[in-house]
Amino acid sequence: MLNFTQKEIALMKRLNTPAKVQDFLNSLKFNFEKDGKNVIKSPIRVLREKNAHCIEGAILGAYVLSLHGYKPLILHLKTTKGDFDHMITPFKKDGLWGALSKTNHAVLRYREPVYKNIRELVMSYFHEYFLDNGNKTLRSYSIPLNLNIFEKGWEVAEYDLWGIDDELDKIKHYNILSKTVLKNLRKVDKVEVEAGKIVVEGD
């Protein structure tokens, strides 16, 4: 098991608002797993390797927020086959929900805490979740997973956190739309598809 350095602890203390945590997540390079090895790094490894994909960013974000009084929550956004699922860090502030999000795309990003409940928050991602052919792909979402259910030490683990990913697959998910509604979905405009291709340079 690894241990946080004083410098790492001081950094996380400074990240004392969701906005600051999001800015830090944005500063990390995106982990494309170019070596072909699938990983889910712990927060300490993300800090030291300075890169993260969406679940790694969600877990780190949840941990840092927990140091400042928030519950360490992550949430699974599930899509159709052919698209990529996404993980976010929901947080509640002044009775309203927002979310942290690590992505290299122009969409599926941070959400201000302005949503009354988790479903409202999730639905803010619906129109931004689509394929290049214009099909909207978001289909279900999980209840928020509280990382406190896991044994202490995951935040400084040297091993990959596959147990968290496994738990996300097991917990309750809610379908977003009925079959009737799904059949009548309009495709995304071409201009929206093109805008969705924008990525952050350097990631």
- The pTM (predicted TM-score) of the whole model is 0.95
Q: Which of 22, 28, 25, 52 is nearest to 40 (CA)?
A: 52
- Which segments of the chain does DSSP mark as H helices, in order? 6-14, 18-27, 43-49, 54-66, 118-123, 162-170, 179-183, 190-196
Phi/psi at 123 (5° precision) = -65, -20
Which percentage of the chain shows pLDDT scores above 70? Answer: 99
- Helix 162-170, helix 54-66: angle, nearest 10: 90
pLDDT in tens, 48-88: 999 999 999 999 999 999 999 999 999 999 999 999 999 99
3-state secondary structure at position 86: strand
Query: What does the pLDDT look like over 163-176, one tens digit per residue?
Result: 999 999 999 999 99
Residue 141, exposed/middle/buried by CB under 10 A (0-12, 13-18, 19+)? buried
Identify the band that residue 201 occupies on the pLDDT scale cut at 50, 70 and 90. Answer: low
Report pLDDT digits (tens) over 106-165: 889 999 999 999 999 999 999 999 999 999 999 999 999 999 999 999 999 999 999 999
Tokens of 69: 């009084």
Determine the Cα–Cα distance for residues 81 and 165; give it in Å rounded to an integer: 18
Enter the DSSP assignment of 105: B
Cα distances from 151 to residues 109, 156, 157, 164, in angstroms, run 29, 12, 11, 11
Which residue in this structure is represented by tokens 């917990």?
171
Domains of the chain in sequence order: 6-196 (3.10.620)
SS3 184: coil
**Which residues are within 8 A (CB) of 15 and not within 5 positions of it... i.e. 6 or more apart?**
21, 24, 64, 68
